[in-house]
Amino acid sequence: MGALDYIQDLDRAVFDEANQQSYAKKAQKGLSEKLVRRISKEKKEPGWMLELRLEGLQKFTEMELPEWGVNLKDLDFDDLIYYASPEEMKGYATSWEDVPADVKRTFERLGIPEAERKVLAGAGAQYDSLNAYHNLKEEWEKLGVIFEDMDVAVQKYPDLVKKYFMKAVPVKDHKFTALHTAVWSGGTFLYIPKGVHVDQPLQAYFRMNAQNMGQFEHTLIIVEEEAQGHYVEGCSAPKYGSTSLHAGCVEIYVKKNARFRYSSVENWSQDTYNLNTKRAIIDENGLMEWVGGNLGSGKTMLYPCSVLRGKRSKSDHLGIAFANKGQIQDVGAKVIHVGENTTSTVLSKGISKGGGESIYRGLLQINKGAKGAKANVRCDALILDGDSRSDTYPDLRIHEEDVAIGHEASVGRISEEQLYYLRSRGLSEDEALAMIVNGFIEPIIKALPLEYAVEMNRLIEMEMEDSVG
C-alpha cells in the first residue's frame, strides 16, 4: 500500500460515520463551575491553571456574542458536551497497538498511522477531549524537540507552558477564547530548541466523535531562535444532524531567525460551528507561514493572525475556503505590523457552491513606527452557480506613512465557454468544474506537502461531486 492509497478510498462516509459512544451518554451537557473544576482536577493541574480556567468561565458569562460575522444566535450553549473522555482512554498510547480498537480504526481510515510511518516526524491523534495517541520519532527527541499532548505538557513542562499559555491570545480576546480557556482539553505542545531544523512535518489529527460535542484543544508551539519546523493539523467530525462546536486555540511563537509553517485542513461535519482562534507572534527576521483549508463545518469564523513584532519579520497567509450548500465560511487573515521593515502577504481563495456563502474578512494593521512595512493582500472568489455568494470585507488600518501596500480582490464565475472547452475534450461537466476549481486553488495546493495536497484535492473533488443537476 502506498502512502497515498488511503486518499483514493476517502469518501464522505469516512468522515461522517461515528463510532459507538456509550461514554458520551454519561457526559453531562452544559457548562458550570463544577465542570471546570472537575476537568482541572481530573487533569491534576496546578493551581494557576484552575484559576485561569475560572477567569475564562467568568469572562465567558460576561461577554456578548460578536455582533459581526456569522449569526451565532442558534448556538445553544446548554445543549453541548464540553468534556467527554472515552473510559478506556486513560493516558495516550505511544504505539498504535495500544490505541482502543474502534478509535484506532477511525484514525486508520483517515490514514494517520500510514502517513506517520511514511512522511512524518511525529503524530498525535485526539479523540473528543483526549489524545488517543502521541508519538515523536526518536531522532527528534534526541535533539531536544518536545512534541507532547498539551495536558501532559502542563505536568511535565509547567514553566514553559505557564510562560506562553494564553499569552499570544488573551483570555478575553472574545467570548470563545474565554470559553476555550475555561474548558480546554488536549491539543499539542511543540517545542523546537534553538537551531534545530525539523525537516519532516509533525501532524496532529483532531477527531470529534460524540454527538453535541464541543472540542477545545489547545495547541502551543514555541520555535526557538534559528529553529525550523512544519506542523500539520487535520480535523473532522461525524454527522449527526445536531450542533457541535469547535473552539480550539493555536498559539505560535517564532523567535529570532526562526521559520515555521502551520498547515491545517479543517473538515468538520456540517453540524459544526468552527470558531477557532489562531495567532502567531514573530520576532526579528522570523518567518511564519500559514496554509489553511476550510471545508466542512456549517458555520466557520476563522482568521489566523500574525503579529510581526520583530524587525524584518515576515508572514505568509495562504487560505482556501469552500462553502457548499448550507455553509458559511467567514474566514480570512489578520496581520499586524509592529516592527520596522516587516513584510506580509495574504492569498485567499474562496469558493461558493450550491447556495454556500464564502466571505473573506481581513485585517491589515500597520502600527505607528513600523517603517518600511510591506503588505500585499489578494483575495479571489470563485462562484460556481447563481445561488451562491461571496463577499469581501477588508479592514485596513494604516498608522505609518513609509509603507507599501497592495490590495487586490477578484470575483469570478466559471464561464460556459471554459466548461464547453473542457467537455469537448471528453471531460464530464462535473470533471470540468472540478478541474477549473482545482486550478483556481492551485497556488495554495502547491504550498502543501504532496500528501496533503493530494488529500486536499480529493476533499475538493468530494465537494464537487453531484454538483450538477
- Rounded to the nearest whole angstrom, what is the least distance from the CB of residue 139 to other proteins in the complex? 32
With a CB cutoff of 8 Å and minimum separation 6, the contacts of 31 are 57, 60, 77, 78, 80, 82, 179, 182, 183
Task: Using CB under 8 A, pick the residue from 26, 73, 90, 425 that binds other proteins.
Answer: 425
429 touching other proteins, by CB under 8 A: yes
Q: Is the dihedral of CA 267, 270, 272, 275 positive or negative?
A: positive
420 touching other proteins, by CB under 8 A: yes
415 touching other proteins, by CB under 8 A: yes
In this structure, are residues 325 and 296 in contact, taking their beta carbons and an 8 Å threshold?
no
Residue 137 vs 423, nearer CB to other proteins: 423
Place of cell 468530494: 462
Task: Using CB under 8 A, pick the residue from 391, 423, 454, 467 that binds other proteins.
Answer: 423
* Part of the chain binding other proteins (CB under 8 A), chosen from 94-102, 109-117, 334-342, 434-442: 434-442
Residue 48 vs 421, nearer CB to other proteins: 421
Nearest CA to 49 among 166, 186, 129, 128?
166
What letter does residue 173 receive in the DSSP assignment?
A: S
**Secondary structure (DSSP) of 195-225:** T-B--S-EEEEEE--STTBEE--EEEEEE-T
Residue 168 vs 441, nearer CB to other proteins: 441
Residue type, position 222, single letter: I
Task: Using CB under 8 A, pick the residue from 61, 155, 270, 438 that binds other proteins.
Answer: 438
422 touching other proteins, by CB under 8 A: yes
Count CB atoms within 10 A of the CB of residue 44.
9
- Rounded to the nearest whole angstrom, what is the least distance from the CB of residue 359 to other proteins in the complex? 22
In this structure, are residues 328 and 68 in contact, taking their beta carbons and an 8 Å threshold?
no
* Part of the chain binding other proteins (CB under 8 A), chosen from 110-118, 229-237, 261-269, 410-418: 410-418
Quickly list H helices, 43-111: 47-62, 101-109
Grid cell digits, residue 161: 507552558
Q: Measured between alpha carbons, how far is 363 from 188 in angstroms, rounded to an integer?
A: 27
Q: Site for other proteins (CB under 8 A): how many residues?
A: 23
Report the length, in residues, of the chain.
469
Task: Using CB under 8 A, pick the residue from 440, 448, 459, 464 that binds other proteins.
Answer: 440
* Part of the chain binding other proteins (CB under 8 A), chosen from 35-43, 235-243, 281-289, 433-441: 433-441
* Part of the chain binding other proteins (CB under 8 A), chosen from 3-11, 120-128, 133-141, 431-439: 431-439
In this structure, are residues 108 and 115 in contact, taking their beta carbons and an 8 Å threshold?
no
467 touching other proteins, by CB under 8 A: no
417 touching other proteins, by CB under 8 A: yes
Task: Using CB under 8 A, pick the residue from 418, 447, 454, 458 that binds other proteins.
Answer: 418
- DSSP β-ladder status, 122-127 and 130-136: antiparallel
The CA angle 416-439-12, to the nearest 5 degrees, is 95
- Rounded to the nearest whole angstrom, what is the least distance from the CB of residue 422 to other proteins in the complex? 7
In the stretch 361-400, what mask flags binding to other proteins with x, by CB under 8 A? Answer: ----------------------------------------
- Rounded to the nearest whole angstrom, what is the least distance from the CB of residue 451 to other proteins in the complex? 17
Quickly list H helices, 291-428: 416-423
Task: Using CB under 8 A, pick the residue from 17, 421, 450, 465 that binds other proteins.
Answer: 421
- Rounded to the nearest whole angstrom, what is the least distance from the CB of residue 193 to other proteins in the complex? 39
Residue 2 vs 426, nearer CB to other proteins: 426
Q: Measured between alpha carbons, how far is 366 from 373 in angstroms, rounded to an integer?
A: 7
Quickly list H helices, 184-312: none
Give, as ranges, the residues between 220 and 279 that touch other proteins (CB under 8 A): none
Which residues form the interface with other proteins (CB under 8 A)? 415-418, 420-429, 431, 435-436, 438-443
